[in-house]
Every structure is written in C-alpha cells, then in structure tokens.
Amino acid sequence: QVQLVESGGGLVQAGGSLRLSCAASGRTFSRNTMGWFRQAPGKEREFVARISWSGDNTVYADSVKGRFTISRDNTKNTVYLQMNSLKPEDTAVYYCAARSILSGKFDSWGQGSQVTVSS
C-alpha cells in the first residue's frame, strides 16, 4: 500500500483558489493512478479527479471541470489539486487516494483535508 498525507486545505472566499498537496510514501507511487475525492457534510464521498501514473491522462467530475487541475510530480512523490473559482458547494473534506495496481480499486487513502468556501 501507499501511505498518503494531504495538506493545503483551509478557508477561502468564493471565487478564490487553493492548492491541495498529497505526499506519498511507498515504492510503487510512480506506478499508481492517483485520485482526489471529497465528502461534504451529510453526503457520500464523491469522485473529483484522477491522474494516470505518467500524468498523461486526467479525468474530472463535471462539477469541477474547467476549475480544478490535478497534477503530479513523481520525483517528489506528490500529487496536487489546484482549485480555482471555488464555490460554496465545493466545501468538503478532500481525500487523496491511490489506486491499487493489482485490484484497480482506490484502496489507500489519506486522512483528509478540510476545504471551506464562504459565500
């Protein structure tokens, strides 16, 4: 498994920006597809974005497309989520996750980072 630690969350006004970082440890990081998910109060965890091991392929949820950008630096074992034009509905705990090479499922999770967007 991959160990993950998120950072960079906080409080921001609507229209503002934040960048989340996820530092990973584990020998297979550079081979893992990485993803970001979020969970708002009273709601289920939802997919936000994912990036292939090479960084060449990215996928976004419709709700964040054009506003969020996922990227990775395999030399630093870190994946990022740049969030622009934030909206109050983006308020949630954001989780970094690694997809297992064997199962194809996201099975390694960080502890989460709170993002709060005020109106």
Query: Each residue of 59-118: pLDDT tens digit?
Result: 999 999 999 999 999 999 999 999 999 999 999 999 999 998 888 899 999 999 999 999
60's tokens: 């976004």
Asked if residue 32 lies in contact with residue 22, where contact means CB atoms within 8 angstroms, the answer is no
**What are the beta bridge partners of residue 116?**
11
- Mode of pairing for the β-strands spanning 18-25 and 3-7: antiparallel
Angle at 57 between CA 59 and CA 60, to 5 degrees: 10
More confident residue, 31 or 22: 22
Give 2's pLDDT tier (boundaries 50, 70, 90). Answer: confident
**Dihedral angle sign, alpha carbons of residues 105, 107, 108, 109:** positive
Asked if residue 8 lies in contact with residue 114, where contact means CB atoms within 8 angstroms, the answer is no
**CA proximity to 24, closest of 7, 43, 48:** 7
